[in-house]
Amino acid sequence: MAFELRWTRARLLAHWDEQLPPGARDHYAGLAGRRAAGEPVAYIRNLKEFLGLELYVDPRVLIPRPETELLVTRAVAWLRSHADARVVDVGTGSGAIAVGILSSCPGVRLIATDVSEEALEVASLNAQRHSVHPELLAGSLLEPVQGRIDLVVANLPYLNRDEYENLRHTSIAYEPRQALTDDADGLRWFGALLDQAQAKLAPGGCILLEIGSGQPAALQELVRRRLPDFQAAIYPDYAGLPRVLELSR
């Protein structure tokens, strides 16, 4: 209701007895009906807060999660001592990670890639909204990026096929499937990214990956086989679950 009236929640509670403007009742009922059917609030409002930033979202992109804030926090911490770094945000989607990093580190050179042209349109809207300027490139993973990369940040589709199917009765059903699952074991895109990073990451570079809470062992084995000269560290999210894998060369 506060969204419908363009009021703050405090104003709504303070003026609960006011008459609704003409047409507001029916429109509000329509919004409530969409929510009752399971559509995420973020898509209904076209708005999601991430790290205190208001981002535009719609069904072209994944809705940013609080867990992903940790990925940005780790990236910003790394960039504090690598001010001249060249960063790539892989699979940028709404641009949440790119905008979050550039809002804290405005001097960083950042490239954001996505295989979806539609997602890049949303990322561009959010970059403009927050007056930051990532270079947006269409393509898979690191393929469109030329030259040295110092930091790779990625929230890849990490749900395996069974995990995704078990969640299809939730609001996830409204979000882009390709942003959530690889329709395999959940590790497909990690392997592909690590292979590409081996050739493109500069000496002393770093890879930061959001991961599923049940994936640390499998991913550490994958790293051991693909990138034996990298050191791995895992950081927990707000719930204490493994969420970010940091790989240092």
pLDDT at residue 37 in the model: 94
The low-confidence residues of the chain, meaning pLDDT below 50, are none
pLDDT at residue 249 in the model: 84
pLDDT at residue 237 in the model: 93
Domain boundary assignment for the chain: 2-37, 60-248
Spatial CB neighbours of 145, under 8 Å, sequence gap ≥ 6:
88, 111, 113, 137, 200
pLDDT at residue 83 in the model: 85
Nearest residue to 85 (alpha-carbon basis) of 144, 140, 142, 147:
147
Spatial CB neighbours of 203, under 8 Å, sequence gap ≥ 6:
249
Orientation of helix 96-104 relative to helix 67-79, angle to 10°: 40
CA dist., res. 142 & res. 114, Å (int) = 9
pLDDT at residue 192 in the model: 97
Q: What is the pLDDT of residues 7-32, one digit of tens each?
A: 999 999 999 999 998 899 999 999 99
CA dist., res. 227 & res. 22, Å (int) = 63
State how far the alpha carbon of 87 is from the alpha carbons of 7, 80, 152, in Å: 39, 13, 6
pLDDT at residue 8 in the model: 94
Helical segments of 2-95, H only: 2-5, 9-14, 24-36, 41-45, 67-79
pLDDT at residue 121 in the model: 98
User: What is the maximal distance between C-alpha atoms in the chain?
Assistant: 67
| pTM of the predicted structure, to 2 decimals | 0.94
CA dist., res. 247 & res. 234, Å (int) = 9
The CATH number for 60-248, chosen from 3.40.50.970, 3.40.50.620, 3.40.50.150, 1.10.3720.10, is 3.40.50.150
User: Residue 53 burial by CB count (10 A; 0-12/13-18/19+): exposed, middle or buried?
Assistant: middle
* Total Cβ atoms within 10 A of residue 239: 9
